[in-house]
């Protein structure tokens, strides 16, 4: 129906919805005091950290951070857009969805647009059905089935992915639907226009793979030739249309979401057959890009469903070039809870052949050993430049080349992980790399190799609070610079021995204070002092956070605990921000 859904209706619908009932229809809940709990449906976990509060009308996962009301849960769990989720929630509550009144002209335009869109989706669905029909009933069907069998594709998998056949006919599809206009064919991308204005079927003599959106609607196709040809591309995709945007869509995503509920990792491959072949071996957490380089939209889409993405690339020059581009995109999307890895296949292998030769278990083990962004950055820089990390001057040049990559991420933990890999490759310490490149994460240790060796016997076995006490004893002026605002937090949750340190800061050094002279200048001592306090506070925050979570798991959840947890999460971010700015 034309017209927008009134905001007042949406607000009232959400307010009236019982989030416990909505969630409980989809997952098993267990009573926990005034709330309900369950293992989170949005990430893998063994101990429930997903809580639903009926009185407040929201759910929250203390493991992955998933949070929202009944409408948000339906959107995320069912993979629906906003309007569709409203319609589902309204249906479950037994109410109809009203629409705002609009002008006759606008209403007519919206009705026309909606009608054309529905016609387009219907035509794409009918084309997909016709392609599937051809496998068994067209003269070329036997050839296509033989090809699929040669690739190990069973009838079950072919059915699950709705694989079909586009016969070698220029007008085969169009003859099946004679009432469809040229404009309609072009709108859905199923024909190609010649110079004289006539059109022919775009997909001919190809195995057809329908591409579906998150709602399962066919939005386009990928076609693969059955025999190699110098005159035709191996893969052919639908062109950009109102329905199909290759930079925002992934083949196999819908099928993956239908077959796997808890997705701990997604493998990104390059071809449709790779997705299908891996499915034959029970590997269903796989998607393929659609003939284009990885985009930020691809990663944003995947990170809604998983915390880890592994790219699988051919080990040849083209594959490494594609992986290099993927790294550039990935660095802009990574965070402490998101990760990507890079897996390079052996020479002359693709995911299809690899899993057939070595098996699914071997593939999973190989993925566990895939490269981190830092490790791939180290390799990629050397590959592109021809320089060697084992040569001191080359290593210095490679480090300067890495600076532009470090700038691509603002996430402190991600940047530090890159620096760790660079430091290992250059045989340096992290703080030396940071100093050379003018980068500061607040996580690197600030001492040179010689000083580190001198300090190790004196401090290596001491608790953090004892190390700070030793610094304070030798450099009393450090007492003027410590995070006094965190004193209460440290009193309650600090490590054993922190009370002695806090007492010393008040001017009461213990009589048995460490007397060992540390080989530091005052500037080096300040660095050690600042880094030590940052770690001490962060450890206390984490201890406090775990204490609150434990209380909530025991059913003691209340407003004060929720507020305390929120403040502690903010303190984590504040701690990280403070370290970044130093």
| Residue 518 is assigned to a structural domain of this protein | yes
For residues 430 and 495, membership in a common domain is answered with no
User: CATH number, domain at 152?
Assistant: 3.90.980.10
Where does a domain end: 220, 244, 268? Answer: 244
Strands 266-269 and 235-237, by their bridges, are: unpaired
Which pLDDT does position 53 carry in this prediction? 86
Alpha helices in 138-250 (DSSP H): 141-150, 155-160, 172-176, 182-188
Which pLDDT does position 555 carry in this prediction? 65
Which pLDDT does position 16 carry in this prediction? 87
Number of domains forming the structure of the chain? 4
| Residue 104 is assigned to a structural domain of this protein | no
Q: Which residues of 335-358 are buried (b: 16+ CB within 10 A; e: fewer)?
A: eeebbbbbbbbeeebbbbebbbee
| Cβ contacts of 392 within 8 Å, gap of 6 or more | none
Contact predicate 51/62, CB 8 Å? yes
Contact predicate 61/25, CB 8 Å? no
| Residue 141 is assigned to a structural domain of this protein | yes
For residues 486 and 405, membership in a common domain is answered with no
Which pLDDT does position 546 carry in this prediction? 73
| Residue 41 is assigned to a structural domain of this protein | yes
Detail the DSSP E strand segments found in 12-166: 30-32, 35-38, 50-53, 58-61, 67-68, 164-166
In the block, residue with structure tokens 């024909």: 191
For residues 433 and 455, membership in a common domain is answered with no
The residue ranges of the chain whose pLDDT is under 70 are: 1-3, 102, 107, 445-463, 496, 507-520, 549-550, 552-559, 569-570, 572-582
For residues 125 and 209, membership in a common domain is answered with yes
Contact predicate 100/27, CB 8 Å? no
For residues 577 and 455, membership in a common domain is answered with yes
| Residue 352 is assigned to a structural domain of this protein | no
Contact predicate 291/235, CB 8 Å? yes
Q: What is the pLDDT of residues 527-545, one digit of tens each?
A: 778 778 788 888 788 778 7
Report which of 480, 499, 504, 574 is spatially closest to residue 534, judged by C-alpha positions. 574
Detail the DSSP E strand segments found in 35-155: 35-38, 50-53, 58-61, 67-68
For residues 386 and 472, membership in a common domain is answered with no
Which pLDDT does position 55 carry in this prediction? 75
Where does a domain end: 212, 244, 276? Answer: 244
User: CATH number, domain at 52?
Assistant: 3.90.580.10
| Residue 256 is assigned to a structural domain of this protein | no
Query: What is the DSSP-derived secondary structure letter of residue 478?
Result: G
For residues 178 and 217, membership in a common domain is answered with yes
Q: Is 433 exposed, middle or buried (0-12, 13-18, 19+ CB in 10 A)?
A: buried
Where does a domain end: 211, 244, 277? Answer: 244
For residues 430 and 498, membership in a common domain is answered with no
- 207: phi then psi, degrees, rounded to nearest 5: -75, 130
For residues 80 and 189, membership in a common domain is answered with no
Give me 426's structure tokens.
């250059």
| Residue 264 is assigned to a structural domain of this protein | no
Q: Which domain holds residue 413?
A: 376-437
For residues 408 and 478, membership in a common domain is answered with no
The SS3 call for residue 277 is helix
First to last CA, the chain: 57
Q: What is the pLDDT of residues 239-296, one digit of tens each?
A: 999 999 999 999 999 999 888 877 889 999 988 989 999 999 999 999 999 878 899 9
For residues 162 and 49, membership in a common domain is answered with no
Q: Is the pTM of this model over 0.75?
A: no
Contact predicate 229/205, CB 8 Å? no
User: CATH number, domain at 547?
Assistant: 1.10.860
> How many C-beta atoms surround the C-beta of residue 443 within 10 A?
21
| Residue 343 is assigned to a structural domain of this protein | no
> How many C-beta atoms surround the C-beta of residue 312 within 10 A?
26
d(CA 204, CA 435): 59
For residues 134 and 231, membership in a common domain is answered with yes
């Amino acid at each position: 129906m034309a017209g927008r859904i009134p905001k007042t209706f949406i607000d009232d619908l959400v307010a009236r919805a019982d989030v416990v009932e909505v969630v409980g229809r989809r997952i098993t809940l267990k009573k926990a005091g005034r709330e309900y709990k369950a293992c989170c449906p949005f990430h893998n976990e063994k101990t429930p950290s997903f809580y639903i509060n009926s009185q407040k009308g929201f759910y929250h996962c203390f493991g992955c951070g998933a949070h929202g009301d009944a409408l948000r849960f339906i959107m995320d769990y069912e993979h629906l857009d906003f309007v569709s989720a409203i319609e589902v929630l309204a249906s479950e509550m037994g109410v109809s969805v009203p629409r705002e009144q609009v002008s006759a002209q606008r209403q007519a335009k919206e009705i026309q647009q909606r009608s054309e869109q529905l016609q387009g989706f219907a035509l794409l669905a009918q084309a997909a059905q016709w392609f599937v029909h051809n496998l068994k009933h067209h003269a070329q069907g036997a050839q296509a089935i033989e090809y699929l069998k040669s690739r190990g594709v069973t009838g079950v998998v072919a059915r699950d992915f709705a694989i079909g056949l586009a016969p070698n006919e220029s007008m085969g599809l169009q003859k099946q639907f004679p009432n469809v206009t040229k404009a309609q064919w072009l709108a859905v991308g199923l024909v190609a226009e010649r110079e004289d204005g006539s059109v022919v079927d775009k997909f001919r003599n190809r195995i057809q793979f329908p591409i579906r959106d998150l709602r399962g609607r066919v939005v386009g196709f990928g076609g693969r030739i059955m025999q190699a040809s110098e005159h035709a591309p191996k893969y052919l995709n639908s062109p950009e249309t109102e329905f199909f945007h290759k930079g925002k869509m992934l083949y196999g995503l819908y099928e993956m979401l239908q077959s796997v509920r808890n997705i701990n990792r997604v493998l990104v491959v390059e071809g449709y057959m790779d997705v299908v072949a891996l499915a034959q071996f029970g590997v269903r957490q796989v998607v393929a890009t659609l003939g284009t380089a990885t985009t930020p939209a691809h990663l944003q889409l995947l990170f809604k469903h998983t915390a880890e993405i592994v790219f699988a690339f051919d080990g040849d020059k083209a594959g490494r070039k594609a992986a290099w581009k993927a790294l550039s995109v990935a660095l802009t999307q990574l965070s402490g809870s998101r990760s990507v890895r890079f897996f390079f296949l052996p020479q002359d292998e693709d995911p299809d052949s690899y899993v057939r030769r070595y098996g699914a278990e071997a593939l999973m083990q190989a993925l566990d050993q895939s490269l981190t962004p830092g490790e791939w950055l180290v390799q990629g820089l050397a590959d592109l430049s021809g320089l060697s990390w084992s040569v001191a001057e080359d290593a210095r040049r490679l480090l300067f080349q890495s600076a532009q990559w470090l700038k691509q991420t603002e996430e402190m933990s991600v940047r530090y992980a890159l620096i760790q890999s660079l430091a290992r490759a250059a045989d340096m310490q992290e703080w030396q790399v940071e100093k050379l490149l003018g980068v500061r994460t607040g996580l690197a240790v600030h001492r040179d190799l010689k000083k580190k060796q001198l300090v190790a016997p004196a401090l290596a076995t001491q608790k953090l609070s004892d190390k700070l006490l030793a610094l304070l004893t030798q450099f009393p002026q450090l007492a003027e610079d410590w995070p006094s605002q965190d004193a209460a937090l440290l009193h309650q949750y600090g490590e054993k021995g922190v009370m002695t340190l806090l007492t010393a800061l008040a001017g009461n050094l213990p009589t048995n204070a460490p007397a060992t002279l540390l080989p530091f200048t005052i500037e080096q001592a300040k660095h050690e002092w600042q880094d030590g306090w940052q770690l001490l506070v962060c450890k206390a925050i984490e201890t406090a956070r775990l204490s609150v979570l434990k209380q909530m798991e025991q059913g003691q959840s209340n407003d004060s605990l929720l507020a305390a947890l929120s403040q502690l999460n903010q303190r984590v971010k504040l701690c990280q921000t403070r370290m970044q700015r130093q």
